[in-house]
Amino acid sequence: MSEARKLKMLVVDDDRAVCSSIKLLFQRKNFEVTFAHMPVEALELFENFKPDIVLLDMNFTIDTSGIQGLKLLGKFKTLKPTLPIILLTGWATVQLAVEGMKLGAGDFLAKPWENDQLVTSVNYLLSKVTTHDSTNVDTDQPVIIGGSASILELITLSKQVANTDANILITGESGTGKELIAELIHANSKRANGPFVKTNLGGINTSLLESELFGHVKGAFTDAFTERIGRFTMSNGGTLFLDEIGELPLENQVKLLRVLQEKKYEVLGSSKTMNLNARLISATNKDLQSMVYQGSFREDLYYRINLIPLHIPPLRERVEDIPLLVKHFVKNTSDVYDIDQPFVEEEAIKYLQRQEYPGNIRQLKNEVERTLILNQGKKTLKREDFMKQMFVENNRADKDKGALNLKEMEIAMIQKALAKHNHSISPTAKALGITRSALYRRLEKYNIPHES
C-alpha cells in the first residue's frame, strides 16, 4: 500500500499558542496542520487548503457571545456541508453548544481540553465522514470503526477499487476485520445488488472442496444423493469471498487458477460449461509470498488473485482506534442486552490500549462485551473490571466462574437481539453492528431459528 495521505486540519483561533500546541499534537499523528487567526484569513485559506477537518474558535475579539464563530461555521458548512468541524471556546455555554450543533458542528470542546479528548473527537468525526451512515439499514453497509490514518486510507482505497472487477487480496492477522473490508468493497461496487458469498477454505474437507466451489449433479459421485449448487454459481452477478485462501491445497490451487484464467467452470458430473460471473476477493492471515518461495502456494495463482493488495494493520499498530471501538462495543452490548450503558473511565481505556491483542478487534470486542455483561448495574467500568476479565478465554477453568467464550457470547447476543427486535433481520443486524448478509451467515453457522 502507498504511504498514507496526510489528513489536512485547519485551526482557526486568534490565540497563537493554541494553534502551535494543536499543530505539534497532530503533526505527530500524520496530519498536515495550518492555521488562521481571523475569519477573513480562514476563508481565504479554506479554498486552497481544502481541509479534511476544522477546529474553530468561537471568539476573535473581546466579544464573548460566540456569534463570530457561528457565522464562520455557517459559511464553512455552505462551502462543504459534509466537513467535520469541532468548536473550541474558553466561554462555553450550553446555549452556544446547541446553536453550533444546529448549524452542523460535530463536537464542542471547552478550553482547556485534554489532548486525548481532542484526538478522540477528531478521529471519531473523521471516521463518520469516511464510513457510511450506519443508521441507514437499507444501504446494508458494514460499519467500520476507526479514525487512524491507516484505517481511513484503507477505507478510501477500498471504495476506490470497488467499482472495478479486479481481483483483490486482503491480508492481515486473524480478527482484524478482513471480511468487513470485503463486504465494504462489495457494497460499494456495481455488483452491490448481487449476492455476497463467503467460503472459508480452511474449514472444508479437501475431498469436498470441488463440490463446494463448483457444485455437483445428483449421482456425480458416491453419496451425491441430491444436486448441490456450488459457490461459483451462488455468487453469480455478485462477489465471491474466498477466506483463508492460504489453506487451499496445491492440487486445488491448479483448478482455481484454471477457472480464473478461463472464466469458465463445470459442475461435477455435468458436461455443461458455466461462465464465471463473480468478482473474486480473497483473504489470508498467512504470508503468501513466503509460501510461494517455499513451494506451498503457486506463484501464478498468487499474482492472479493479488492484482490489488489491501493490508489491514493489527490493532496494536492503531491503538488510537481503541477508544472508538470500546465506545461502539459498549453501546452495542448495552442495546442488545437492554442494560444501562456504563461510562468507561479514562484509566480503563488507557489500560486497554496497552494490551497486545493477538486476536485483534475480535478479541477486544469479546473482552469488552464480557466485562460489561459480568458488571451489569455498574455506572462506571474501571480498569480493575477489565483486568479481572482480560484473557480469561486462555484459561478454560474460568468458564465455571461465569466467563463466556467468543462463540457462546456471539450466540447469546444474536438470540437476545432477535428476541428484542421480534426476529426482524434488518434492525437485529443494525443493533449488532453487522450487515444483514453477515447476520444470515451467523444464523446458519450456529443453526439459530429465524424468520426469512
How far apart are the C-alpha atoms of 62 and 41, rounded to whole Å? 18
Q: 399 pLDDT band (50/70/90 cuts)?
A: very low
- Residues 287 and 153 both lie in one domain: yes
- Residues 158 and 270 both lie in one domain: yes
User: What pLDDT does 340 receive?
Assistant: 86
Per-residue pLDDT, averaged over 397-402, amounts to 42
Is there a domain that residue 142 lies in? Answer: no
Is there a domain that residue 141 lies in? Answer: no
Kindly give the pairing relationship between strand 228-229 and strand 273-275: unpaired
Among 293, 313, 333, identify where a domain stops.
Answer: 313
Question: Would you say the C-alpha torsion 144, 150, 152, 156 has a positive or negative sign?
Answer: negative
CA nearest 12: which of 62, 63, 51, 64?
A: 51
Query: Which string of DSSP letters, residue by residue, matches 105-154?
Result: -SEEEESS--HHHHHHHHHHHHHHHHS--TT-GGG--------SHHHHHH
- Residues 124 and 49 both lie in one domain: yes
Is there a domain that residue 144 lies in? Answer: no
And the C-alpha cell for 431? 443493533
Is there a domain that residue 451 lies in? Answer: no
Is there a domain that residue 169 lies in? Answer: yes
pLDDT in tens, 160-184: 888 788 899 999 999 999 999 999 9
- Residues 78 and 166 both lie in one domain: no
pLDDT in tens, 260-273: 999 898 888 777 88
Residue carrying C-alpha cell 491503538: 319
Domain of 265: which CATH number?
3.40.50.300
CA nearest 373: which of 334, 328, 324?
A: 334
Per-residue pLDDT, averaged over 401-415, amounts to 65
How far apart are the C-alpha atoms of 356 and 263, rounded to whole Å? 43
CA nearest 450: which of 432, 415, 422, 423?
A: 423
Please state the domain count of the chain.
Answer: 3
Is there a domain that residue 394 lies in? Answer: yes
Model confidence, pTM: 0.63
Kindly give the pairing relationship between strand 7-12 and strand 343-344: unpaired
- Residues 224 and 265 both lie in one domain: yes
User: What pLDDT does 452 receive?
Assistant: 55
pLDDT above 70: percentage of residues in the chain: 85
Q: 69 pLDDT band (50/70/90 cuts)?
A: confident
Specify whether the backbone of 447 is left (phi greater than 0), alpha (psi in -120 to 50) or beta.
left
SS3 content of the chain, % helix, strand, coil (to 5): 50, 15, 35
Residues 6+ apart with CB under 8 A from 406: 362, 366, 393
Q: 95 pLDDT band (50/70/90 cuts)?
A: low
- Residues 363 and 300 both lie in one domain: no
Q: What separation, in Å, do the N-terminal and C-terminal C-alpha atoms of the chain show?
A: 40
Residue 8: φ, ψ to 5°:
-100, 130
Instruction: Give the HSE-up count for residue 28: Cα atoms under 13 Å, Cβ half-sphere.
Output: 8
- Residues 285 and 393 both lie in one domain: no
CB 120 within 8 A of CB 25: no
Instruction: List the single range of 89-103, 243-257, 286-300, 307-321 with lowest mean pLDDT.
Output: 89-103
- Residues 229 and 328 both lie in one domain: no
pLDDT in tens, 107-129: 777 777 778 878 887 887 787 66
Among 292, 313, 334, identify where a domain stops.
Answer: 313
Residue 9: φ, ψ to 5°:
-120, 130
Instruction: List the single range of 197-201, 210-214, 257-261, 388-392 with lowest mean pLDDT.
Output: 388-392
- Residues 116 and 161 both lie in one domain: no
What is residue 302's three-state secondary structure?
Answer: helix
Is there a domain that residue 277 lies in? Answer: yes
Domain of 43, in residue numbers: 7-130
How far apart are the C-alpha atoms of 440 and 198, rounded to whole Å? 11
Among 313, 344, 366, identify where a domain stops.
Answer: 313
Omega of the bond prior to 112 within 30 degrees of 0, cis? yes
- Residues 350 and 330 both lie in one domain: yes
Is there a domain that residue 2 lies in? Answer: no
For residue 282, is pLDDT > 90? yes
- Residues 115 and 157 both lie in one domain: no
For residue 403, is pLDDT > 70? no
DSSP 8-state class, residue 268: B
Domain of 382: which CATH number?
1.10.8.60
Residues 6+ apart with CB under 8 A from 6: 30, 31, 32, 149
Domain of 40: which CATH number?
3.40.50.2300
- Residues 181 and 70 both lie in one domain: no
Mean pLDDT of the chain: 82
Separation in Å, CA 140 to CA 87, 186, 333, 366, 390: 32, 10, 20, 24, 32
For residue 2, is pLDDT > 50? no
